[in-house]
């Protein structure tokens, strides 16, 4: 039922209301409540023990690292961390949950009342509330295909049982699929900066469910919400929401009612379809997990120490420190690791802004043209620093620098290697340069007049002309000096 038939006027009558639930696997060495390895990709059912298999009598022991990571994520997402939080057993049966209950948090989650600011279409920002961040354990995996007898059997891999998760629940503050996309993008970026998760969606380290409803604009009460599950990329979240919003409006416009249900996103068909009705709410019969308590004071101090400079703050600082545009700052802070490498390099150069400039123009431009990623660049950060310093010292001209970069990318060699071999010729002979300057000055009486009338920036015109005449080989520092001397004389 693609809803392409709806006119913009009909769509505009309704307001979507979206809330997101994100599950993030925490990157601890061991699981949440036992000593088993927390690792993706091991042979099935090898990282298991009586605790995570839920054998009778086994007792969970809380992994302090998981609490530390959850606390760090909570702070980074502007949440208030509860002084004491407890765990609860969430009872339900599923084949990949051998205990028959999941250890989660219920009415006393570790953190609440956070927010993320997202950019909006009109260039401002909008604050999306975070209701809560709570800790829980992951379940195992049911494997429905890939075996010779998959038609008749389902296999279980319980390695994932007990993997520590942070579940991050947003307020129903999101109004458009684009806002949902931005919220998720910012959240992932923040979590990556804190290094509490690898946020790898292909491996299931970050998973997203969306709750979406529509209501006539101006109406206060929410419409009936539908949960969309099984969406494994942010792009698909946006598409699934776009589809689902139009579907719901079409149902309502047709005089029918939205039924509360869980729907799955089918990326191949580009649509959602009903998985199960949610008419009867699950009764999970939460009750306190007796042995597990978090006293946050001890974790808070440590988490505050570890809290890195977060992406938004870092961009603001770098914009002023390196004289960047917001777009360039975004590029340089795409990952914490890259931003760290850039800043370490820039600080070692004579002119840090020059390093940013070369990276964003000369290097990025060539990478773009070749369709390469930043980490595939033949020119290292050290190479860029060397190029920036040579330029600043006047040992190469900007034209020579471009030529050296061309060779580096053509031959896939680092800048230093190319420079050592090519060592571009430089005209450092003052009399040779003076001869070129005389020629340019003689040919440009108007510009000379302007300079002498006080327009000192005209010096740049003469430097450029002589540089061109020297085929880029004039020593820039010497050339500058001689040009000024000539014009002033």
Q: How many residues bind Zn ion (CB under 5 A)?
A: 5
State phi, psi for 350 to the nearest 5 degrees. Answer: -65, -35
The residue (of 36 and 73) whose beta carbon lies closer to Zn ion is 36
Question: Of the ranges 22-30, 33-41, 81-89, 402-410, which one interacts with Zn ion (CB under 5 A)?
Answer: 33-41
Q: Is position 36 an interface residue for Zn ion (rule: CB under 5 A)? A: yes
Cβ closer to Zn ion: 36 or 482? 36
Smallest gap from Cβ 45 to Zn ion, in A, equals: 11
Q: Which of 3, 18, 22, 52 binds Zn ion (CB under 5 A)?
A: 52
Segments in 90-231 forming alpha helices (H): 177-194
The span of 44-52, 55-63, 262-270, 359-367 binding Zn ion (CB under 5 A) equals: 44-52
Residue 41 φ/ψ, nearest 5 degrees: 90, 5
Pick the closer one to Zn ion by CB: 141 or 395: 141
Nearest to 264 by CA among 312, 300, 232, 309: 232
49 lies in the binding site for Zn ion (CB under 5 A) = yes
Q: How far is the CB of 31 from Zn ion (least distance, A)?
A: 5
Judged by beta carbon, residue 36 or residue 139, the one nearer Zn ion is 36
Q: How far apart are CA 486 and CA 215, in angstroms?
A: 75
Shortest reach from residue 118's CB to Zn ion, in Å: 38
Q: Specify the 3-state DSSP secondary structure of 366.
A: helix
Which positions ≥6 away from 50 have C-beta within 8 Å? 57, 58
Q: Is 381 helix (H, G, I), strand (E, B) or coil?
A: helix
Please, are residues 21 and 209 in contact by the beta-carbon 8 Å criterion?
yes
Site for Zn ion contains 34 (CB under 5 A) = yes
Q: How far apart are CA 264 and CA 272, in angstroms?
A: 5
Alpha-carbon 303 to chain mean position: 21
Contact between 58 and Zn ion by CB under 5 A: the answer reads no
36 versus 166: smaller Cβ distance to Zn ion = 36
The piece of 35-43, 248-256, 271-279, 316-324 that touches Zn ion (CB under 5 A) is 35-43
Reading the block at residue 132, the tokens are 């809560």
| Site residues (CB under 5 A) for Zn ion, limited to 304-323 | none
Please list the residues that pair with 91 across neighbouring strands.
101
Phi/psi for 353 (5° steps) reads -65, -35
Q: Does the protein bind Zn ion through residue 190 (CB under 5 A)?
A: no
Closer by beta carbon to Zn ion, 45 or else 185: 45
Query: Which chain residues interact with Zn ion by CB under 5 A?
Result: 34, 36, 49, 51-52
């Amino acid at each position: 039922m693609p809803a392409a038939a709806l006119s913009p006027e009909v769509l505009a009558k309704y307001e979507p209301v979206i809330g997101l639930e994100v599950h993030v696997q925490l990157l601890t060495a061991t699981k949440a409540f036992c000593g088993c390895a927390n690792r993706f990709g091991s042979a099935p059912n090898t990282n298991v023990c009586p605790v995570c298999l839920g054998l009778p009598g086994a007792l969970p022991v809380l992994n302090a690292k998981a609490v530390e990571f959850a606390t760090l994520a909570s702070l980074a997402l502007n949440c208030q961390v509860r002084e004491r939080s407890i765990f609860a057993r969430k009872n339900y049966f599923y084949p990949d949950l051998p205990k028959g209950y999941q250890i989660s948090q219920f009415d006393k989650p570790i953190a609440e009342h956070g927010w993320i600011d997202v950019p909006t279409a009109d260039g401002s920002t909008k604050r999306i509330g975070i209701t809560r961040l709570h800790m829980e354990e992951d379940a195992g995996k049911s494997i429905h295909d890939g075996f010779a007898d998959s038609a008749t059997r389902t296999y279980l891999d319980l390695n994932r049982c007990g993997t520590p998760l942070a579940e991050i629940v947003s307020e129903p503050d999101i109004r458009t699929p684009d806002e949902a996309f931005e919220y998720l993008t910012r959240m992932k970026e923040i979590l990556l900066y804190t290094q509490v998760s690898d946020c790898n969606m292909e491996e299931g380290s970050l998973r997203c469910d969306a709750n979406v409803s529509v209501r006539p604009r101006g109406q206060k009460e929410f419409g009936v919400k539908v949960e969309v599950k099984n969406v494994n990329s942010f792009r698909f979240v946006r598409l699934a929401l776009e589809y689902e919003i139009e579907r719901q409006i079409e149902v309502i416009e047709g005089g029918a009612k939205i039924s509360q249900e869980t729907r799955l996103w089918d990326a191949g068909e580009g649509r959602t379809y009903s998985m199960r009705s949610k008419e009867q709410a699950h009764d999970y019969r939460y009750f306190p997990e007796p042995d597990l308590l978090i006293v946050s004071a001890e974790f808070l101090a440590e988490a505050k120490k570890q809290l890195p400079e977060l992406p938004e703050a870092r961009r603001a600082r770098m914009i002023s420190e390196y004289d960047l545009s917001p777009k360039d700052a975004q590029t340089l802070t795409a990952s914490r690791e890259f931003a760290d490498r850039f800043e370490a390099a820039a600080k070692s150069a004579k002119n840090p802004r020059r390093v940013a400039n070369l990276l964003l123009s000369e290097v990025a431009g060539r990478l773009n043209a070749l369709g390469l990623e930043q980490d595939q660049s033949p020119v290292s950060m050290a190479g860029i620093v060397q190029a920036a310093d040579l330029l600043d010292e006047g040992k190469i001209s900007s034209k020579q620098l471009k030529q050296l970069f061309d060779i580096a990318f053509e031959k896939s060699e680092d800048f230093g290697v190319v420079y050592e071999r090519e060592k571009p010729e430089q005209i450092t002979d003052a009399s040779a340069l003076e001869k070129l300057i005389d020629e340019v000055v003689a040919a440009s009486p108007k510009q000379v007049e302007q300079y002498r009338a006080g327009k000192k920036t005209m010096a740049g015109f003469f430097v450029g002309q002589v540089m061109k005449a020297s085929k880029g080989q004039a020593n820039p520092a010497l050339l500058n000096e001689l040009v000024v001397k000539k014009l002033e004389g």
